[in-house]
Structure 1
Amino acid sequence: MSSPEHKQKIWQLIEKIKVGMLVTLDDGAPRARPMHLVQEAYDGTLWFFTRRSAEKVIETEQDRDVCLTFSDQEHGIYVSMTGKARLNDDRDLVEKYWNPFVAAWFPDGKDDPDITMMEIDIDFGEHWQARESKTFQLYEIAKANLKKGHQPDLGENEKFGH
C-alpha cells in the first residue's frame, strides 16, 4: 500500500483530470469506458456512480480486478491504477457524492433504486509526469535517437503499492 504522502501525490495528479478509463474484462477481453471521479480526496479508494444494471457491474461481479487510467497530455501526466471493484449500496455515500454533474446522468434522481456506488480499492499502480516543456521533451527524444544507448529523460516515473 502507498503512504499517506504518496496517496496525496496521486490525488494531486488525478483530481483535475476527473475522468479515468475503467478497464474490466468482458468475456475475457479488456473493455474500457470513462468514469468520472466524485470524491474530494484519495485515501486508497476511488468512488464512482453507476447503474446496478450496467454491463460494467456484471463484468466486475465476474472478475473484480480492474484497471483505471488517467491522462493529461497537455501537462504530461499519466496514471495507471489496479484494484478490486465492488458495489456499495450505502445511501449515505450516494447523498455525500451527489452533485449536478451526476444528476445529469441519472435523471430519475438519487433515490433511483438502480443507482449504486462502485468502490475501487487500489492495490498498486504507476505514474509518469513530464517535468519539462514539450520542446525539451522533443530535444530529449532527438538526442536519444542520435546517441546510441541514450534514453530520453522526460520526467518522473514511479510504481506504487505492492
Structure 2
Amino acid sequence: MSDHKKEFYDRLEDVRAGMLGLESDGKLMPMSPNFDDDKPGAIWFLSAAGQHLVDHTSDGAKAAKFVVADGGTGLYADITGTLEVTENPAKVDEIWSPIAAAWYEEDKQDPDLRLLKFTPQSAEVWLTSTSGLKFFYEIMKANITDEMPDAGTQVSLTF
C-alpha cells in the first residue's frame, strides 16, 4: 500500500461522518464510515430499510461517492466507487457500537437494519495539517514572503 493510501486510511479511521450518495441522483446523506483497520478496502455503513440508499441499491451495486471534509483529521476527499446492500452478520457485529444501537429498536436483530458496502475505486484526496499553529504560521509566512502557504498534499488515489 502506498504511503498516501496508508495516510488516507489512517485519517479516515478517525472521521466520524461524511456524505454518501449515488452518482445517478446526486443526493448525499450523512453517514458514519467503518472499515477493517488490518485490511482496508471496503467502507461499511449501517442504514435501514426504506432509506433512499438502501432502496436504490437492493437490486445490486450502483455507482456512488463518499465525500469527507474533516478539519480535525485534515482529510478532505471525494471518493468514487460502488455501493450495495449486503448480508454479513459478522461485519455488523464488528462495526456495531452504542451509537448504532441508539438508532435500532431491536439492536442488531432489528428487521430494518441493513449493511451497505462501499467499494472505493478512485479518490481525489487532500491531506492538510491538523495543527492550528502550523496553519497560522503558514498564513503569516505567506503574508511576509509573498509565497503561497503550504496547504498540504493533494493526491489522486486508485484502489
Q: TM-score range by the shorter chain?
A: 0.7 to 0.9
Deviation at 1:139, TM superposition (A): 4.0
The aligned counterpart of 1:71 is 69
Amino acid at match of 2:82: K
Matches within 5 A, 1:1-162: 3=1, 5-25=3-23, 28-41=24-37, 43-60=40-57, 64-74=62-72, 76-131=74-129, 133-139=134-140, 142=143, 152-161=149-158
What secondary structure does 1:65 align onto? strand
Deviation at 1:76, TM superposition (A): 3.5
Q: Deviations over 1:72-96 (max 9, x none)?
A: 2245331221110001112222222
Structure with more strand by fraction = 1
* C-alpha distance in structure 2 between counterparts of 1:11 and 1:140, whole Å: 31
Amino acid at match of 2:92: V
Flag as ranges the 4+ runs of structure 1 deviating above 3 A.
4-7, 59-63, 139-144, 150-153
Q: Residue 135 and residue 123 in structure 1: after superposition, are their counterparts in 2 closer, same or farther (change >3 A)?
A: same
Deviation at 1:19, TM superposition (A): 1.0
Q: Which TM-score applies when normalising by structure 2?
A: 0.79
Q: Which TM-score applies when normalising by structure 1?
A: 0.78
Q: Residue 7 and residue 107 in structure 1: after superposition, are their counterparts in 2 closer, same or farther (change >3 A)?
A: farther
Amino acid at match of 2:30: P
RMSD after superposition: 2.7
* C-alpha distance in structure 2 between counterparts of 1:9 and 1:119, whole Å: 21
Flag structure 1 segments of 5+ consecutive residues without an equivalent: none
Which deviates more from structure 2 when the two are superposed, residues 59-68 or residues 111-120?
59-68
Q: Residue 49 and residue 85 in structure 1: after superposition, are their counterparts in 2 closer, same or farther (change >3 A)?
A: same
Deviation at 1:106, TM superposition (A): 1.1
Amino acid at match of 2:104: F
